[in-house]
A and B are shown apart, each in its own frame.
Chain A
Amino acid sequence: MRVVSNVTCPVCGSLCDDIELIVENNHVTKVRNACAVGEAKFLAFADPKHRRVKPLIRKNGELVEASLDEAIRRTAKILAEASYPLLYGWSCTSTEAIRVGLELAEEVGGVADNTSTVCHGPSILSIQNVGFSSCTLGQIRHRADLVIYWGCNPWSAHPRHLERYTTFTEGRFQKSIWIRYLTKLRALIGKKKAQRAAELASPRKEVISKPERTFSLPPTLTAKQRKMIVVDVRKTRSAEIADYFLQVKPNMDYELLQALRMLVFDRELDLDEVAGIPIELLEEVTDVMVGCRFGILFFGLGLTMSSAKVRNIDAGISLVRDLNKKTKFTIMPMRGHFNVTGANVAFTWQTGYPYAVDFSQGFPQYNPGETSAVDILARGDSDAALIVASDPVAHFPKRAVKNLVENPLIVIDPQVTPTSLMADIVIPSAFVGIEAEGTAYRMDRVPLPLKKVVEPPATCLPDEVILQRILKEVRKLKGGKAA
C-alpha cells in the first residue's frame, strides 16, 4: 500500500491539487479530499466494463481488435488523404499532447478545434471584443467579499469550488461563511417541519397559506462579511447556499445585465421589472455590488448557451468594467473540463488563436461560426475526423453527429463512449492525470502538474506518444519533413 498525496484531480476546471490516493497493487483503492465526481473517476476509471485496452478497427461493420501499429498506420493514412479533416477534443488531455496535436493538424491541413467551441467559446469571443479584468483564484480566496455565480451551478459542476476558492474557504482577509449557512439551513428545516405539522394538524388545507414571497434583501447581504449571490433560471443547490438568489427568466440574462449596468450609474429605469425581477430589488442588489470592496463575477454556460450568447458575456464584462469605476470587481468564466483552459492556452501560443483554427490554406485561420466544429459538421464539409479525449457523439447536436459518423472517424480515448462506439478506428490511451503525467491549466490559467499514480495497461500509451507516432507516420506518407 502506498499513499500518494498532492494529486491534481483530472475532472473539472477547479483542478483541486490536494487529493490523496491510497494505491494497492496498481489500483486506487481509496480517495481522500475529492468531490463525488473526482472520487468516481479515481475509483472507477479502470473498470473493464468501460475501459478499452486494445486498439480496434472497423471491418465489415464490426469493430475488431488490431495491433497498435496497424491502427496508427491506418489513422495516418486517413488523415493524410483527407482534404479537410477535423481534429477535435483536447480538453481532457495534457497540454503536451495538445501541442503535438496542433502540429499534426498543421501537417494534414485540417481544422483543430477544442471543446470550448461548445462551452466557453462565446466567452472567448467576447473577451477578444471587450477585454476583461480577472485574477487568480487565490486572490478571490483571500480578498473577495462579494461572490456572484451567474448562470452556473458549482455545486454540481465544480463541487469543491466554494470550499476551496470562494465562500466556504478561510482566506487571509475574508472568513468562511459556512457557520452562517448551517444556521440558515437549520432554520429552514425547522420552518419546513413546522409548516408540515401545521398542514397535517389543519383539517382544511386552504387555511394554511404559504407566506408571500417578500422582495427585500436578507440582512446578511448588507453585513461586512463575505457574501454570495446566485443568478440563475432555477433555484439550484448553489442558489440554496447563497445569501441571495435572483431568478431570471430563461433567455433574459442580457436584459438583466444591461439593467444592472444602468443602475450602477444611477440611471432611472422606467419599468416595474426586468427579466422577472422587480426594479426595487435590482437597485438594492446594485447597492450591494457597488458597496463591496472586492467583487468577483463567475459566469457559466447559462450565459454562453442561451440566446444572445456572445452579447451576454459582452454585457457581463461591461458590467464589471462599469463596477470598477466605483469599486474593485473581477470576472471569470467557470471552465468545465480539467484542461480546457490549457487547450485554449496551447492553441493560442502555437497558432495565435484559442480554438476553431483552420490550417487548410497552409496558415492558421480563425473564424468561429465558420471554422468551428459544429458548423463544419453541420455543413458536411469535413471528410474525416480525429477525436482526442472527447465525446462529441454524446454532446453535439444530432445533425452535426450525423456527418461526423458518416465519414471516417478515429477516436483516441481510454473510455468506451458513444463516440468510440461509432468510430472506425479506436486507439485506447492512458488516463492523463492518473496513468500519465502532464500539465493542465486551472480555470484562472494557472498551470498545474498532473501526476502518474498507477501504471497503464501495456497496450495503452499516453495521448502525446500516440499523436507523435501518428505525426511521424503522416510525415512518412507525405514524404515531407523527416520526423
Chain B
Amino acid sequence: MTKLKVTLLTGRTINQGTGKEHGKLSKKYMESVAICQIDPEDLKKLGIREGKNVRITTAFGSVVLKAVKSLRAPHPHVIFVPYGPWANALIGSETSGVGMPTFKGIPAEVETSQERIVALPELLKQQFGRSEKTCV
C-alpha cells in the first residue's frame, strides 16, 4: 500500500466555524472536521478518489479521516485537517517552552484505509476511556 510522507497543517475553515455552532455532536460538525484535504496530485499517487478514507499517522497518534480533494491546490505533500477532536489526535503536547503546541507543519504519513471514521463519542472513548453518558 502506498504511504505518502506529507506535512500536516491544521486550521480553521468556514464549515468548521458553522459546524461547531450547530453543535459538536451534530453530523454537520463531523462532516466538516473529520476530513483531510489532499492535493489532487497526491490523491492520484495514493490511487484513490476523493470520498475514500485515509489513515493519517504522526509521531503522536493516528486517525482515519475522509479524503477530500483540496480546492486550495497546488500544495503538494501538504495535507490540511480542520481543527477538532480528530485533528488533535495527531498533535503532540511539546510546546518548545512557550506554552504553544505545534498545530501546523507536522511531519505525517498518509495511506489509504478500509477502516471507518469513528464518531465523536467513540473517538473520546478510544482516546480517553470515557464517552458520552446518557443523562439519567
Contact = CB atoms under 8 A, between A and B. Distances in A.
Contacts of A125: 98
A397 B88 contact: yes
A107 to B, nearest CB: 24
A378 B133 contact: no
Contact of B61 (A159, A250, A302, A398): A398
B7 A250 contact: yes
A397 B93 contact: yes
B4 interface: no
Contacts of B93: 374, 377-378, 396-400
Interface stretch (A149-157, A441-449, A465-473): A149-157
A397 B92 contact: yes
Given A49-B23, A156-B17, A418 B124 contact: yes
Interface string A36-59: 110011001101011000001010
Given A64-B136, A153-B12, A233 B78 contact: yes
B61 to A, nearest CB: 6
A62 to B, nearest CB: 5
B86 to A, nearest CB: 9
Nearest to A49: B23
A interface bracket (residues with beta carbon within 8 Å of B): 35 or more
A259 to B, nearest CB: 18
Interface in A366-383: 368-369, 372-375, 377-378
B100 A395 contact: no
Given A301-B104, A399-B93, A418 B85 contact: yes
Tell me what chain B mostly uses at the interface: helix, strand, loop, or mixed: loop
Interface in A381-427: 391, 393-402, 405, 415-418, 421-422
Interface string B1-45: 000000101111110111001111110000000000000000000
A247 B39 CA distance: 15
A139 interface: no
Given A37-B17, A250-B78, A302-B104, A44 B97 contact: no
Given A37-B18, A405-B128, A415-B24, A118 B100 contact: yes
A63 interface: yes
B21 A44 contact: yes
B75 interface: yes
Interface stretch (A180-188, A291-299, A303-311, A320-328): A303-311
A109 interface: no
A62 B24 contact: no
A400 B100 CA distance: 12
A153 B15 CA distance: 13
A405 B100 CA distance: 20
Interface of A: 11, 36-37, 40-41, 44-45, 47, 49-50, 56, 58, 61-65, 117-118, 121-122, 125, 153, 155-157, 159, 233-236, 247, 250-251, 301-302, 304-307, 309-310, 336, 356, 368-369, 372-375, 377-378, 391, 393-402, 405, 415-418, 421-422
Interface of B: 7, 9-14, 16-18, 21-26, 60-61, 70, 72-75, 78, 80, 83-85, 88-89, 91-105, 120-121, 124, 127-136
5 contacts: A62-B136, A65-B135, A301-B103, A307-B102, A418-B124
The 5 closest A-B CB pairs, nearest first, are A50-B23, A372-B99, A40-B21, A369-B97, A368-B99
